[in-house]
Amino acid sequence: MHKGYLCLILHGHLPFVRHPEHEDFLEEDWLYEAITETYVPLISVFDKLIQDNVDFRLTMTLSPTLISMLTDPLLQERYLKHINRLIELAHKEIERTSWQPNFQGLAVMYLNEFSKARETFERYNRNLVLAFKKFQDLGKLEIITCGATHGYFPLMDVCKESVRAQVKVAASHYEKTFARKPKGIWLPECGYYPGQDEILKDAGIRYFISDSHGVLHGTPRPKYGVFAPVYCRGTGVACFARDLESSKQVWSSIEGYPGDYNYREFYRDIGFDLEYDYIKPYIHPDGVRINTGIKYYRITGSDNHKETYVPAWAKEKAAEHAGNFIFNRQRQVEYLYDFMQKKPLLVSPYDAELFGHWWYEGPMWLDFLLRKIAFDQDQIRLVTPSEYLMENPRNQVIIPSLSSWGWKGYNEMWLQGSNDWVYRHLHAASGRMTDLAKIFPHADGLLRRALNQALRELLLAQSSDWAFIMGTGTHTSYAIRRTKDHLLRFDRLCEEIKTNSIDGDWLADIEYKDNIFPDIDYRVHQ
Amino acid sequence: MAIIRRIKERLKKIALKKSMRRSKDTRLAKKPSAEEAKKEILGVQETQIEKAKFSHPEVAVSCMRRGMPKELPSHYDQDKIVLQVRDPWWIHAYWEIRYSTIERLRSEFKDEFDRARRLLRVYDVTDIIFDGNNARSFFDIQVNDFTNNWYIDTGGPGRSWCIDLGLLLPSEKFITIVRSNIVRTPLAGPSWITDEEWMIPEDMFARLYGMGFGLGRSSPVGKAWQERIKHLLSSGVSSPGVTSVTSPAKRAFQEKKFWLVVDCELIVYGATEPDAKVTVQGKPIALRQDGTFTLRFALPNGKQVIPVKAVSSDGEDERTITPIVTRETR
């Protein structure tokens, strides 16, 4: 008889980056890397589990912007070009390392991986969302939605209409993609402010996830800490809080698995290591070095000295760590079960990009973990939030605290010297959007297109990723440019709408470039 | 390589030091104890991994814009002040005043205006319906005419705040120019309010609390942490605070040492009849259309014997040339 539940959540999100006006755009690589290194490996793991008849339950966010990019024909085409180039590079690497057998073995490994990525991509008709939909339809995966463009809600509570738009646009986009309504939402950055759940309830969403202190600092005190969900006072929307103990084992830079010396080193990529003339065709056309995904070294130690990666050792470690993870969860669950007199729920959310992209062996670890949970033990049961609520409908009612899972646990990551300037513009634009929606309740034709596009531009400007990148201080010019571009386009649209002088050509141009959410309805912004 | 170092250094900066431009953050000035130093800043590692999603350097992109301004407007022609919460202690205000409003005030108060000070009056309006005069308390912050935003240390979590941007006249009379929205800062620790229906003893809650933050039995500092929370809960101290959970991590960052990396590659190239068959070290290679070829190899330490054999298309003729290359490194 199982003594506790484990809810593993993978949060898949990338900001909307699509530049049809350029042949080659550096930041689009974020998507291609994620496809090759995270999404395809995860899909392969799930496919194999199903093939081997292993039951599992996972929850996964696919953000609306990520889905939009994965289903966009231009980006799909560009991904194929990208993976073909990588396959070509892998071939060359195999040649170049003829006299270095341990490197050559790795080059062959990468060739196989890239070929597999291309094959999987084609097999799902270039639309990887279909794979995840398949897993959901088979009952193994519960896909939840996210803010339409991942806007950071706690810093949008002065313009709730925007929060409403973010949630509603996301919910209808989800429904169109998966032929069902979303049951849960991953709040961007787990950013919650009290009262936000009303908007979620309106959109039919039944639960969200918050960081631990969202519930632990809630009012009144939660009887079960983070080990059971709570209902929000007034709305009954459920809030699942992250268990830091289990998350830490994977996230932590001090005690977490990804830092093990046998695992692959992220920062030693041939894009940076190899001789310039050789690698030039595979890095940015301007000659700027970038990650290719081919990395030959393992972490080895805490200093700069790195040795060659040994896949067999890494695989062994991944199996060992999977076993260790379960062992710790079993101890945790046993202890809590006695303590609480109730089956505890452990909620462990992770960025999907952690698996494969950052922590190369992540998908392998996950595979070992899911198999071990299915066959090697019976104390822990994998569950999705919906399943948990169905089996445990009675939960405490509290008001969760304002919180996020970002740096320091509140809003500072997105509200600091480098990015606080954006909010006066975003809030002003939001106010104008609401006004427009009220002034034109039944727009048609060109006017309607302009209003819809205005909402698109506003949503794109609200992406919390821009403020995040500005906050990290590295490579900020792209993020700043995006914020300004979308706000300026919005401004111009507003002016043209108000003065009844809509420039049809220009509108068509930005509709083509910022083509997200084709079925958007500007009236949700109220 | 420089880019990698730069990324790591930035990360170090974010993790270890954050200085506010305009206001002092006394909380960060606190030195963490050895015990606290073992805990990680909430969200630091998540931030680093999220950053890896965007790990690419800057490239100057020339975008063509037809007749579009490149910069955002500096104001929106409104009188307003907006408050946002940053964390349990700090709030942020930004504001804008119309030029016409300033002029109106100037003509109304004439020479008192020139001697007036512009102030942010920060009201504590916790649990009351604020009518402008019934705040629990307030404090003033002087700002100059060019400032348009400010971070404010409210001194304590879990309270509601409202701010008036106004003028303090020489006669000590305060004129409100514009009033902000009301915000409420979150608690920095567990709530004092308990639910009758869902009661548990304080020490049990202390343990659950610690465990929720990953400071359970498996953590080396877990026990000490639980004791502290227990003590705080039972001693009736308000907002026990989770400041120690936000202490800097004691991560072994890579030392900043001077470094040099050198490696060698070998280029082997040649030419023959375009329709010949060529093997290098026994492996067949492809020729370009003009019969030339170029091969590039990583050259490790040791000796490489490289027989290059070409056979004519009719199989009648063959030639072999064998460069021998030795590399050693001192």
Q: Who among A248, A266, A487 is closest to B72 (CB)?
A: A487
On whether any CB of chain B is under 8 Å from the CB of A253, the answer is yes
Contact A162, A168 (CB under 8 A): no
Q: Which CATH code is given to the segment(s) A4-71+129-252+342-407?
A: 3.20.110.10
The pLDDT > 90 percentage for chain A reads 90
Query: How far is residue A171's CA from residue A204's CA, in Å, rounded to a whole number?
Result: 9
Rounded to whole angstroms, the Cα distance separating A401 from A213 reads 7
DSSP string for residues in A507-518: HHHHHHHS---T
Over 70: is that where the pLDDT of A372 sits?
yes
Please tell me the predicted confidence (pLDDT) of residue B243: 31
- Range 242-271 of B in CB contact (< 8 A) with A: 242, 245-246, 249-252, 254-255, 257, 259, 263, 265
Mean pLDDT of A34-39: 97
Is A80's pLDDT higher than 60? yes
Q: Is it true that A4-71+129-252+342-407 and A414-524 share their CATH fold?
A: no
Overall average pLDDT of the A510-519 stretch? 95
Q: How far is A401 from chain B (nearest CA, A)?
A: 6
Residue B37: per-residue pLDDT: 40
* Nearest CA-CA partner of B149 in A412, A417, A468: A417
> Are the C-beta atoms of residues A493 and A453 closer than 8 Å to each other?
yes
Same domain, residue pair B91 and B174: yes
pLDDT digits (tens, 9 = 90+) for A471-490: 998 889 999 999 999 999 99
Number of Cβ within 10 Å of residue B220's Cβ equals 10
CA gyration radius for chain A?
23
Instruction: Give the one of B20, B49, B300 whose C-beta lies nearest to A351's C-beta.
Output: B49
What is the distance in angstroms between the Cα of A382 and the nearest Cα belonging to chain B? 19
A180 contacts chain B (CB < 8 A): no
Query: Cα separation of B223 and B225, whole Å?
Result: 5
Which residues of chain B register pLDDT less than 50?
15-39, 60-66, 217-222, 236-254
Domain co-membership, B173 together with B220? no
How many CA atoms are closer than 13 Å to the CA of A267, on its beta-carbon side?
20
Question: Residue ranges of the alpha helices (H) in A180-310?
Answer: 196-202, 212-216, 244-251, 270-273, 276-279
Torsions phi, psi for B176 (to 5 deg): -80, 125
B326 half-sphere exposure, CB direction, 13 A CA radius: 1
Q: Domain range spanning residue B103?
A: 80-184
- pLDDT mean over A498-523: 95
Closest to A284 (Cα-Cα) out of B11, B3, B52: B3
C-beta atoms of B86 and A412 within 8 A: yes
A227 touches chain B (CB under 8 A): yes
- How far is the alpha carbon of B169 from chain A, nearest alpha carbon, in Å? 28
Stretch 377-436 of chain A: residues touching chain B, C-beta under 8 Å: 396, 398, 401-413, 415-417, 420-421, 423-425, 427-428
- List the structure tokens of A95: 């040649």
- What is the per-residue pLDDT across A133-149, written as a single tens digit (0 to 9) for each? 999 999 999 999 999 99
Backbone phi, psi, residue B82, to 5°:
-120, 135
A411·B87 Cβ contact <8 A: yes
In the three-class reduction of DSSP (H, G, I as helix; E, B as strand; rest coil), residue A225 is classed as: coil
Residues B155 and B100 in one domain: yes
B275: three-class secondary structure by DSSP: coil
Burial class (CB in 10 A: 0-12, 13-18, 19+), B207: buried
State residue B4's pLDDT score.
Answer: 54
Between CA B74 and CA B128 the distance in angstroms is 35
Locate A268 and state its tokens: 């030693």
Mean pLDDT in residue range A358-362: 94
DSSP state of A427: H
CA-based nearest residue to A54, from A388, A349, A391, A376 = A376
Chain A residues in contact with B222 by the CB 8 A cut-off are none
Instruction: Show residues of chain A in contact with B126, CB under 8 Å.
Output: none
Which amino acid is located at B135 in the chain? A
CB atoms within 10 A of CB A51: 8
pLDDT tens figures, A299-327: 998 888 899 999 999 999 999 999 999 99
pLDDT score for B213: 74
Q: Strand, helix or coil at B257?
A: coil
ipTM computed for the complex: 0.92
User: Residue A287: which pLDDT band, with cuts at 50, 70 and 90?
Assistant: confident
Q: Does position A387 have pLDDT exceeding 70, yes or no?
A: yes
Spell out which residues of chain B touch residue A354, defining contact as CB-CB under 8 Å.
Answer: 49
Q: Nearest to residue B238, comparing CAs of B195, B196, B191?
A: B191
Three-state helix/strand/coil letters over A328-383? HHHHHHHHHHHHHCCCCEEEEEEEHHHECCCECCHHHHHHHHHHHHHHCCCCEEEC
Structure tokens at A250: 């994977």
Q: Which residues fall within 8 angstroms of residue A152, CB to CB, at 6 or more apart?
A: A188, A189, A191, A404, A411, A414, A462, A464, A467
Same domain? For B92 and B169 the reply is yes
Determine the pLDDT at residue B63.
45
Q: How many CB atoms lie within 10 A of CB A321?
A: 22
Instruction: Flag whether residue A322 sits within 8 Å of chain B, measured between CB atoms.
Output: no
- pLDDT (mean) for A202-210: 97
Q: Is residue B146 part of a domain?
A: yes
Span A375-388, mean pLDDT?
96
Q: Tell me if residue B106 falls in helix, strand or coil.
A: helix
Q: What does the DSSP 8-state code read for residue B49?
A: H
pLDDT of A481 reads 94
The residue of chain B nearest to residue A338, with distances taken between CA atoms, is B204
Question: pLDDT at residue A386 above 50?
Answer: yes
CB A449 within 8 A of CB A440: no
Determine, yes or no, domain membership for B21: no
- Measured between alpha carbons, how far apart are the two ends of chain B, in Å? 23
pLDDT digits (tens, 9 = 90+) for B23-80: 333 333 344 444 344 445 667 777 777 777 776 665 544 444 446 777 898 888 899 9
Query: What is the domain partition of chain A in residue ranges?
Result: 4-71+129-252+342-407, 414-524
* 8 Å CB contact between A322 and A222: no
* Best B18, B44, B53, B98 residue to mutate vs chain A (most A CBs within 10 Å): B53
Tell me how far CA of residue B191 lies from CA of A13, A103, A373, B236, in angstroms: 33, 57, 36, 11
Average pLDDT over residues A222-233: 95
**Residue B303 contacts A, CB cutoff 8 Å:** no
Contact between chains at B43 and A407 (C-beta distance less than 8 A): yes
For residue B41, the number of C-alpha atoms closer than 13 Å in the C-beta half-sphere is 27
CB A384 within 8 A of CB A140: no
Inter-chain residue contact B59 with A219, CB threshold 8 Å: no
CATH no., domain A414-524: 1.20.1430.10
B-chain CB neighbours of A251 within 8 Å are 45-46, 49
